[in-house]
Structure 1
Amino acid sequence: MAQEMLNALLLPLLFSMASGTFIFLYRPEQRGQGLLILTLFQLVGAAGYAMQPTTELLALLSAHALAVLVMLTRHLQTPVPVPQASRDQ
């Protein structure tokens, strides 16, 4: 009975970590949207943990939160590119 929430959230959270890592590494223009989606997945997992708290689910959510935190920190440390003025006058 206690495994139901873990079984329901395991694959979506693992998929979100994998796809979030892919977006973070290979699509820098979509990093902000990807990090927002990862944060929303974290909130869904937290709601599941509030319904059925287990140690395994807490470990999964902690790993997911760590991945989101690292990607968010790296994203915020990346300088914003400044558009170059065109010289076609």
Structure 2
Amino acid sequence: MDQGILNALVLPLLFSICGGLYLYVRFPERRPRALLVMTLFQLVGAYGYATSPDDGLFGLLVLHAAVVFILLVRHLQAPTMLPGNTSQ
């Protein structure tokens, strides 16, 4: 059963990493929503790990958490642009 949870969560977590990176780089105005969705994917993976622990799933969750953490820190350090301060 342990391998089944890993197989069920590998593609969603990899999709979350790829899709989150794409949204983060391509659409700066959607960053908060993308980070929230990535955090929710992390919680789903954590629930899967809690129900049946597996070393492969743990490694994937650590990778996913590291990506989410790095993107979140970069987002919090980035200055926000006010709507009226755009130069043309």
TM-score by length of 1: 0.92
| RMSD of aligned residue pairs (Cα, Å) | 0.9
Q: State the partner residue of 2:14.
A: 14
Q: State the partner residue of 1:76.
A: 76
2:50 and 2:83 map into 1 onto residues whose CA distance is 45
Q: Which is helix-richer, 1 or 2?
A: 2
Deviation, 1:6, is: 0.3
Query: Deviations 1:29-85 (Å, cap 9, x if unpaired)?
Result: 000000000000000000000000011100000000000000000000001112327
For 1:57-72, list aligned pairs within 5 A: 57-72=57-72
Partner SS state of residue 61, structure 1: helix
Q: State the partner residue of 2:30.
A: 30
Identity of aligned residues (%): 51
Name the larger-Rg structure.
Answer: 1
Aligned residues: 85
What are structure 2's unaligned runs of at least 5 residues?
none
Query: Deviations 1:2-27 (Å, cap 9, x if unpaired)?
Result: 20100000000000100000000000
What are structure 1's unaligned runs of at least 5 residues?
none
Q: State the partner residue of 2:41.
A: 41
2:83 and 2:13 map into 1 onto residues whose CA distance is 36
TM-score by length of 2: 0.93
Moved beyond 4 Å, runs of 4+: none
Equivalent position amino acid for 2:9 in 1? L
